[in-house]
Amino acid sequence: MNPQQPAAPVSYNSGGSSKKGLLTTVILVLLLIAALGFGGWAFSKMNNYKTNSDKISAAAVDAAKKVQAAQLQAQFDQQSKLPYKSFTGSATYGSINFNYPKSWSAYVDTTNTSEPINAYFYPGEVPGTQGKTAYALRLELLTADYAQTVQQLSSGIQQGTITAKAYTPPKLNGVANVQPGTLFTGQVNQQDNTQNGIMLVIKVRDKTLEISTQSNDYAADFNSTILPSLNFAP
Task: Note the pLDDT tens digit of each residue in 47-68.
Answer: 888 788 778 878 888 888 888 8
Whether 164 and 184 have beta carbons less than 8 Å apart is answered as yes
**Where residue 80 falls among pLDDT bands split at 50, 70, 90?**
confident
Q: Following DSSP, what letter does each residue of 6-49 receive, concatenated?
A: PPPPP---HHHHHHHHHHHHHHHHHHHHHHHHHHHHHHHHHHHH
Residue 60, C-beta contacts closer than 8 angstroms, at least 6 positions apart:
none
**Where residue 112 falls among pLDDT bands split at 50, 70, 90?**
very high
Task: Give 31 or 214, the one with higher predicted confidence.
Answer: 214
CB burial readout 23-35, b (16+ within 10 A) else e: eeeeeeeeeeeee
**Where residue 213 falls among pLDDT bands split at 50, 70, 90?**
very high
Q: State the average pLDDT over residues 85-90.
A: 97
pTM for the complete prediction?
0.71
pLDDT at 64 (0 to 100): 82
pLDDT at 191 (0 to 100): 77
The C-alpha atoms of residue 75 and residue 73 are separated, in whole angstroms, by 5
**Where residue 4 falls among pLDDT bands split at 50, 70, 90?**
low
The C-alpha atoms of residue 113 and residue 117 are separated, in whole angstroms, by 9
pLDDT at 149 (0 to 100): 94
**Is the bond into 83 cis (omega within 30 degrees of 0)?**
yes
pLDDT at 18 (0 to 100): 72
pLDDT at 144 over 80: yes
Give the pLDDT confidence of 126-135 residue by residue, as tens digits.
999 888 899 9
pLDDT at 210 (0 to 100): 98
The C-alpha atoms of residue 29 and residue 31 are separated, in whole angstroms, by 5
Task: Give 10 or 42, the one with higher predicted confidence.
Answer: 42
Whether 93 and 141 have beta carbons less than 8 Å apart is answered as yes
pLDDT at 15 (0 to 100): 60
**Where residue 13 falls among pLDDT bands split at 50, 70, 90?**
low
**Where residue 231 falls among pLDDT bands split at 50, 70, 90?**
very high
Q: Which residues pair with 203 in a beta bridge?
A: 208
Short-list 96, 88, 87, CA closest to 208: 96
Q: What are phi and psi of 151, to 5 degrees?
A: -60, -30
**Where residue 36 falls among pLDDT bands split at 50, 70, 90?**
confident
Give the pairing type, strands 117-123 and 197-204: unpaired
The C-alpha atoms of residue 234 and residue 68 are separated, in whole angstroms, by 47
Q: State the average pLDDT over residues 170-197.
A: 92
pLDDT at 171 (0 to 100): 97
The overall average pLDDT reported for the chain is: 88
Give the pLDDT confidence of 146-164 residue by residue, as tens digits.
999 999 998 899 999 999 9
Q: What are phi and psi of 199, to 5 degrees?
A: -140, 135
